[in-house]
Structure 1
Amino acid sequence: MTSQEALSEDEIESGWVGGEAPKLNTTVTLVDYDPEWPAQFEREAERIRGALGERVLVLEHVGSTSVPGLCAKPCVDILLEVPDSDDEDAYLPALEAAGYQLVIREPDWEKHRCFKGPDTNINLHVYSPGNGQTPRYRLFRDRLRSHPEELALYATTKRELGAKEWKYIQQYADAKTAVVEEILARARAEQYDGYSEAYASHAEKSVTNALYDRPAIVDLAGDVEGLSVLDVGCAAGHLSALLAGRGADVLGVDASAGMVEVARRKFGDVARFEVVDVTGPLPLPDASIDVVTASVVLHYLKDWTATLAEFRRVLKPGGRLVFSVHHPGEDWRWFEKDDYFQLELLEDDFGLDGKPHPVRFYRRPLSWTFQAVRDAGFAVDRLVEPMPVPEAADVDPKWTVKLRTEPRFLYFRAVSPS
């Protein structure tokens, strides 16, 4: 259930250590939840800690066997973080001496290694600090543990896919990506409910939001008087209200019920707001919208295909899509990543009111974004790296200098062909 792109057969083989990757060539064996699985994890965890000592930074039970009541392959998944998983000399000999065998090496993807256990069927996944998979494993596991309906959905999907024949077990894992992403999207939206009030206050005054992002979106949207506008990922409704103030008929949608509640309270007199999961079908008829805006929201989605297709469906011929995302150069530089061209899940701390709030999003190269928009049938009309409005310097001179000299967000205007 990683964020890795589906692997080709050549990629599966190239990552395997010491020969050919084992072939399944049959269906996947799934068994009912075994209450012994947590004990198996604890036994392995004790052995791993004994082998590595202080080199163990994170050691957790993840995957389906960590979720009570969930069917699973009888194989315990374990997440291990060491100081540098690329530095195999620092931990590989100790693990091998304890009976573990390195079977997968993927240095170009999250510095990932995978080991099999000495006497128990396990997958020991090894990463370095700051990887994108640790928060993903935790969020997915905890979501299934606390939401029976999500557990049931995932279990049903697993059994349906498990009944099919697969050449490699990795292909079965890749086939589950769609439902995993669907569940994770709901989990992330729910996280925002808990700090919607704090975010609304921040977004109202933040130079980045109020004097940089929203003016750029409004400028690219152009004259919207008398037009229907769909504001996707509307959050607390500030952009929706600006567009309504320019004469547009605005519907703001957001996956977070907490955000929508705040938006209705603050701006419900000028715009309509609904809770909508933008990864699924939009509750709108074909060709019913003149302008779609999506301010700093699409980078939370791994795959844009279905979302952009829905934007294209609801837009009238000649309608405009205006959106902003994290600037690819900024994410690459800020997180000190080696490979600019990789699609990668990142985690950052978006602190509000002095409290930490982890946020997870995807970085990707500019070419990926441009191609996704083109593949969806849009014609890219403008690509903009804007400056903050002049009054930003009076509000926060230091931050304004950063916005004027370092890339922050990237803006697209695309047109649905007539």
Structure 2
Amino acid sequence: MNEEIRFLAEKSQAAITHEWDLIAPERDAQIASDHDASFSRVLEPWVLSRLGEAKSVIDVGCGTGRLTSKLQGPDRQVIGLDPSASSIEIARSHDVQSDYIVATVEEWTTKNPDARCDLVVASMVLMDALQIDEVFTALARLSQRGRLLVTFTHPAFWPVYWGYATHPNFNYSDEILVEAPFKTASFEYSLSTTHVHRPLGRYIEALQNSGLEISCFEELRGPEAPEVFPFPRFIGIEAVPRDV
């Protein structure tokens, strides 16, 4: 196991948001310079290929807005939500067309209870959320007349990729807070972030309990060759309201 990785008993959502405040400038620079192959070759194309005819889009956990700006289109209203004020400041600096708001999806839907949109996107966000049921409840409310797209790290293989799957204190079936230096396929940052390992069934349970059903489920490989890492590293799910 990587000695810099720590399992934590607890951490606040505010502390996790602060980690992303600190990493935002460096993270944005990497994505902007096309040095995150997982983002540019796997995650972004998966989302963009499913835009369809959506006229209103909310990008939940939009970060510095690099994906949000790609969601724009003729006569399409795009909103980006993120609790990281530093990330939103960067997003606003390079994208003046989208509407960026500092908020979690739970906070924003509470303040805007009647808000609905054609497409809700939550890409690489769920594993950073401590209260997954509350997040899915908010996502389901926003997508009541549309669709939801989510991507997140594959819980069966991400621990292998990050090097903690064989640790004696790791149990796939448990929800575990994991603090580690943030890295992508091509770059490792000097700063750490915290994510939640939770079994895949827990995500599915929260999604279904919110009133959604899965219309598409895909395991997504990373950009590296199979001999480098042979397993899928991400999951992409499209979901719709159950009564549709």
- TM-score of the two chains, using structure 1 as the length reference: 0.51
Amino acid aligned to 1:383? F
Q: Hey, what's the Cα distance between the residues in 2 that align with 1:278 and 1:189?
A: 13
1:339 is aligned, of 164, 167, 171, to 171
1:229 pairs with 42, 57, 64, which one? 57
Instruction: Report if aligned partners of 1:280, 1:307 keep a CA contact under 8 Å in 2.
Output: no
Q: Secondary structure at the match of 1:299?
A: helix
> Which residue identity is paired with 2:42?
Y
Aligned-pair CA distance for 1:310: 1.4
Q: Residue 316 of structure 1 aligns to a residue in which SS? A: coil
Query: Does residue 192 of structure 2 align to residue 365 of structure 1?
Result: no
Deviating 4+ runs (over 4 angstroms): 128-131, 351-355, 400-404
Contact preservation (8 Å) 1:351, 1:357: no
Q: Report the alpha carbon displacement of residue 284 of structure 1 after superposing the two structures with TM.
A: 2.8
Are 1:212 and 2:15 matched, yes or no? no
Aligned residue number for residue 377 of structure 1? 211
Alpha-carbon distance between aligned partners in 1 of 2:229 and 2:74, rounded to the nearest angstrom: 27
The alpha carbon displacement at 1:191 in A equals: 2.4
Matched residue of 2:18: which SS? helix
> In the alignment, is residue 256 of structure 1 matched against residue 84 of structure 2?
yes
Go from structure 1 to structure 2 and tell me whether the alpha carbon gap of 1:335 and 1:224 turns closer, same or farther (over 3 Å shift). Answer: farther
Matched residue type, 2:164 = F
> 1:278 deviation in Å?
2.9
Measure the CA separation in 2 of the matches of 1:355 and 1:328. Answer: 22
**Alignment correspondent of 1:409:** 234
Cα deviation for residue 200 of structure 1 reads 0.6
| Structure 2 counterparts to residues 254-293 of structure 1, below 5 A | 254-268=82-96, 270-282=97-109, 283-293=111-121
**Which structure's residues are more often helix, by fraction?**
1
Out of 231, 235, 238, the residue aligned to residue 66 of structure 2 is: 238
Structure 2: distance between partners of 1:304 and 1:345: 13
Cα separation, partners in 2 of 1:293 and 1:129, compared to 1, 3 Å:
closer
Q: How does 1:147-158 map to 2 (within 5 A)?
A: none
Distance 1:410 1:354 in 2: 22
Give CA-to-partner distance per residue, 1:326-347, whole Å, 9 cap, x none: 1011134331245222211112
User: Structure 2 regions of 5+ residues with no counterpart?
Assistant: none
Shift of the alpha carbon at 1:260?
Answer: 0.4
The structure with the largest alpha-carbon Rg is: 1
Distance 1:402 1:252 in 2: 37
Deviation at 1:351, TM superposition (A): 5.5
> Which AA in structure 2 matches 1:311?
L
SS in 2 for 1:132: strand
Letter in 2 for 1:218: L
* Matched residue SS, 2:135: helix
**Cα offsets for 1:62-113 (capped at 9, x unmatched):** xxxxxxxxxxxxxxxxxxxxxxxxxxxxxxxxxxxxxxxxxxxxxxxxxxxx
Unaligned stretches of 5+ in structure 1?
1-127, 141-183, 393-398
**1:136-147 correspondence runs (5 A):** 136=10
C-alpha change, 1:130 and 1:190, in structure 2 (3 Å) is closer
Whether 1:190 aligns to 2:25 is no
- Cα distance, 1:405 vs. partner? 3.2
Alpha-carbon distance in structure 1 between the residues aligned to 2:102 and 2:227: 34
C-alpha separation between the residues in 1 aligned to 2:75 and 2:215? 23
User: Aligned partners of 1:252 and 1:258: how far apart in 2?
Assistant: 13
Give the secondary structure class of the aligned counterpart of 2:144. strand
1:223/1:187 CA distance change after superposition, 3 Å: same
Q: 1:308 aligns with which of 129, 136, 143?
A: 136
**What is the distance in 2 between the residues matched to 1:335 and 1:363?**
11
Q: Distance in 1 between matches of 2:4 and 2:229?
A: 32
Number of positions where the alignment pairs a residue of Structure 1 with one of Structure 2 = 231
| Equivalent-residue separation in structure 1 for 2:63 and 2:6 (angstroms) | 27
CA contact (8 A) 2:13 2:130 kept: no
**TM-score of the superposed pair, with normalisation by structure 2:** 0.84
Indicate conservation of the 8 Å contact 1:284/1:314, yes or no: no
| Conserved 8 A contact 2:4-2:181 | no
Cα distance in 2 for residues equivalent to 1:255 and 1:298: 13
| SS class of match (1:194) | helix
Change (3 A) 1:326 1:351: closer
Q: Does 1:297 align with 2:130?
A: no
**SS of equivalent to 1:328:** coil
CA gap of 1:197–1:403, structure 2 versus 1, over 3 A, is farther
Q: Percent identity?
A: 23
- 1:356/1:345 Cα in 2 relative to 1: closer, same or farther (>3 Å)? same
